[in-house]
Amino acid sequence: MKTIKLLLSLAVVASLFASCEADDTADIIINDNSVDNSTTNNNSGGGDPTTTIENIGGTMTTDLTLDSNITYILTEALIMTEGTSLNIPCGTVIKANFGAGVYIAISQGATINANGQANCPIVLTSNSNTPNAGDWGGLIILGRAPINSVAGGNATSTSEIGGLPYGGNNTSDNSGVIRYVRVEYSGGAADASSENNGFSFYGVGNGTTVEYIQAFEGKDDGIEFFGGTVNASFIAVKGAQDDSVDWTEGYSGNLNNVYIEHGVNHDKGIEADGFNTDSGNNSNPLYFSKPTVSNVTIIGRGSSSTSEPEAVRLRAGTQGIFTNILIQGFDEGFDLDGDMGDSPTGQGVLDGNLSVTDVTFVDVTTKLKNDTGFTFSEGDFISGDGNGTGTNFSTWGAGWTRN
């Protein structure tokens, strides 16, 4: 089988250097399928006696279609450039070598077609025989939907990992399909302030299909939304060592059927920011994150555990409409942080833009903690206490998720 390798003639290299001397444009990388690094390993055990292995990585300028009969080794970052498609059939396994710089990125204008099935999921995992959280990067999707960290229009920001552009004004931007995909042992740290997640959605539009995804045993966040409008449903996160689900930069999509289960090392079940406090809320007119979040179960390790401060932290002016929530095993259910200036989280409660309807608390000491500077009652924020049932994870998560 053929693998992706960088092949540049000396003449092309010389011309590229000459053309780049006068500016700071990033190097151009061209890839093709001219080198065959695949191997066939004979296996004396049961099952299929042969396993074909192929290395992948690099910056792609043409479509890449994988084969579920091949086990792929991700040796470096695989970056799909504008106009290209990464096609991953059900049952495909990609094993990533160690390092934060080993990840899969779908750039603006590129698409991913990862169409797994419940009995045939797509698995992106570590290539280690003894895998651990943080072994590699993860899956990064970058789109042209709005973000509030820039002034608006077609202005873009750049991703923490890879420095790739994202953002714009196309709410219905389409980055492809991600269905029945599991990301394992991701979250490698690039430096003290930048870490990969399991799934990172940067300015992704609601033309993108995201459903039946699991982040398993990640070092940083399980799933994070950096602005955008993408909708995601049937989300499972287990063992994330930072926040399981995170949003910021004006994210405004719908999250439906979410199951979160904490491991020994973890932070929040949901951590939500109205804007990125590192870069500011630069949108014009000013707006904050406001997703609709429905049918959610968050399982902690018990209210008496010193490592279970809060299930959901809402801050930096975030808004959001929560419906049918089950929270179990935390000291605090909802912790609202903010101020009466640039981070008016409490104003969202008073305006009806931040609320919880139908929620059940099991083994939760404090249902609501208000650190916003605004005055409101628990009843102003929560209605239907005791009516929440959460999501039916045992049904939709059967067969393709890891426990």
Query: d(Cα 199, Cα 282) in Å, to the nearest integer?
Result: 25
What's the pLDDT score for residue 191? Answer: 67
Query: d(Cα 89, Cα 122) in Å, to the nearest integer?
Result: 7
Helix/strand/coil for 250: coil
Contact 181, 202 (CB under 8 A): no
Question: Which class in CATH covers the domain with range 38-396?
Answer: mainly beta
Q: Average pLDDT of each block of 10 consecutive residues along the chain (403 residues)?
A: 38 38 39 38 40 96 98 98 98 97 97 98 98 96 98 92 96 98 91 81 98 96 97 97 96 98 92 96 96 98 83 98 97 97 98 98 97 98 98 98 95
What's the pLDDT score for residue 258? Answer: 98
Pairing, β 176-184 against β 232-238? unpaired
- E strand spans, 127-186: 139-142, 157-158, 165-166, 176-184
What's the pLDDT score for residue 50? Answer: 59
What's the pLDDT score for residue 26? Answer: 39
Contact 372, 345 (CB under 8 A): yes
What's the pLDDT score for residue 153? Answer: 87
What's the pLDDT score for residue 38? Answer: 39
What's the pLDDT score for residue 245? Answer: 97
Residue spans of the domains in the chain: they are 38-396
Helix/strand/coil for 114: strand
pTM of structure: 0.88
Which amino acid would we find at residue 159?
A: S
